[in-house]
A and B are shown apart, each in its own frame.
Chain A
Amino acid sequence: DSGVTQTPKHLITATGQRVTLRCSPRSGDLSVYWYQQSLDQGLQFLIQYYNGEERAKGNILERFSAQQFPDLHSELNLSSLELGDSALYFCASSVVGADGNTIYFGEGSWLTVV
């Protein structure tokens, strides 16, 4: 157990709909990352937040948005869903300091768009 919690674990929704994926980072971790992994694909970095502020943005579509709340949990909002958005969405967190700056992943949220 990495300590990073993601909900829901599985989600099936129709095209055109909107979903929200939730992530609770490890206790004390200020950085939260979102990654997308399609079938047989590598990790696509979407966005990173640090202590509530956006720190880095990757290949995140305009239909997607994210935020990190004061309690450090984060949400990834996916709207106007398309079939191609079906993927495994990972949340990860990291801490700065003596821990070695390691990134820890949640178990992912499987999104299927039908």
Chain B
Amino acid sequence: AQTVTQSQPEMSVQEAETVTLSCTYDTSENNYYLFWYKQPPSRQMILVIRQEAYKQQNATENRFSVNFQKAAKSFSLKISDSQLGDTAMYFCAFMKPNTGNQFYFGTGTSLTVIP
């Protein structure tokens, strides 16, 4: 079974600063997808960013970018210019295709942006 590990239960960052959330995963697959989801206090699950394992280029979405290290099985999320609205729980997720699209989630990192 695949496992996803988020080793930082809680983090904080000053507004306008940069923060990096860690995620590691364990798999023997070569083709898979990785995701970061954000869950603000409203509890809605929002897709932040997605990375295909076959792509060497790191995905970027505005202030959000990832550092994908395939050999190390690491998938960290960098948030630049942190904003108060970034305060949320962040979940890392892994999916391997062609197996019914099973998704595996980490336990989450609670991020607080301090004004």
Contacts and interface: CB of A to CB of B under 8 A. Distances in A.
B95 A42 contact: no
A103 B103 contact: yes
B107 A103 contact: no
Interface residues on A, range: 20 to 34
Contacts of B106: 42
- What secondary structure prevails in chain B residues at the interface with A? strand
Does more than half of chain A's interface fall in helix, strand or loop, or is it mixed? strand
Interface residues of B, number: 22
B91 interface: yes
Interface in B79-98: 91, 93, 95, 97
A62 B43 CA distance: 26
Interface of A: 31, 33, 37, 42-43, 45, 48, 50, 55-56, 88, 90, 92, 94, 96, 100-105, 107-108
